Amino acid sequence: MSRRIVQWLDNRLNLSPIRVALLDEPIPGGASWIYIFGSITLFFFLLQMVTGMFLSIYYSPSTEHAYVSIQYIMDEVEFGSFIRGLHHWGASGMMVAIGLHMLQVFLYGAYKKPRELLWVVGVVLLILTLAFGFSGYLLPWDQRAYWATQVGINMVGTLPVIGDVLIRVIRGGQNLGAMTLTRFFALHTLFLPWLLMTLVVLHLFILRRVGPAGPWDEAQAARISEPFWPKQVAMDAVAIGVAFALIASLALLVPAPLSDPANPSDTSFTPVPEWYFLFYYQLLKYLEGPLEIVGTVVLPILFILGLFALPWLDRGQGRRPASRPMVMGAGAGFLLVVVTFLGLSSYEVASIPRSDPSVLRGTALYQELDCAGCHRIHGEGEAFAPDLSYVGDTRSRDWLIQHFRDPQTLVPDSDMPAYGLNDQELNDLTNYMVTLKR
Model confidence pLDDT, tens digit, residues 259-292? 888 888 666 677 788 899 989 988 888 888 888 8
Confidence of residue 352 (pLDDT cuts 50, 70, 90): low
Q: Give the three-class secondary structure for 282.
A: helix
- Mean per-residue pLDDT, 349-358: 68
pLDDT at 271: 78
pLDDT at 73: 95
- Mean per-residue pLDDT, 281-308: 90
Rounded to whole angstroms, the Cα distance separating 297 from 283 reads 13
Q: 167 φ, ψ to 5°?
A: -60, -45
What is each CA distance from 14 to 10, 193, 228, in whole angstroms? 5, 30, 21
Element (H, E) at 28: strand 26-28
Confidence of residue 9 (pLDDT cuts 50, 70, 90): confident
pLDDT at 355: 59
- Specify whether the CB–CB gap between 432 and 366 falls below 8 A: yes
- Mean per-residue pLDDT, 302-313: 95
pLDDT at 141: 93
Does the pLDDT of residue 161 top 90, yes or no? Answer: no
DSSP for 100-149, written as a single string: HHHHHHHHHTTTSTT-HHHHHHHHHHHHHHHHHHHHHHSTT-BHHHHHHH
Model confidence pLDDT, tens digit, residues 77-118? 999 999 999 999 999 999 999 999 999 999 999 999 899 999
pLDDT at 153: 87
**Of all residues in the chain, what percent carry a pLDDT higher than 70?**
97
Model confidence pLDDT, tens digit, residues 181-239? 999 999 999 999 999 999 999 999 999 889 888 888 877 877 888 888 889 999 999 99
- Specify whether the CB–CB gap between 429 and 403 falls below 8 A: no
Scored b (16 or more CB within 10 A) or e, 139-170 reads bbbbbbbbbbbbebbebbeebeeebeeebeeb
Which of 57-61, 124-128, 284-288, 310-314 has the least mean pLDDT?
Answer: 284-288
- Mean per-residue pLDDT, 130-155: 90
Confidence of residue 361 (pLDDT cuts 50, 70, 90): confident
Please list, in sequence order, all residues whose beta carbon lies within 8 angstroms of the beta carbon of residue 22, skipping any fewer than 6 positions away.
228
Which of 131-135, 246-250, 418-422 has the least mean pLDDT?
Answer: 418-422
Which domains does the chain show, CATH number per domain? 28-351 (1.20.810.10), 357-434 (1.10.760.10)
pLDDT at 337: 93
Confidence of residue 427 (pLDDT cuts 50, 70, 90): confident
Does the pLDDT of residue 42 top 90, yes or no? Answer: yes
- Mean per-residue pLDDT, 246-257: 94
- Specify whether the CB–CB gap between 168 and 179 falls below 8 A: no
Does the pLDDT of residue 5 top 80, yes or no? Answer: yes
- Specify whether the CB–CB gap between 139 and 185 falls below 8 A: yes
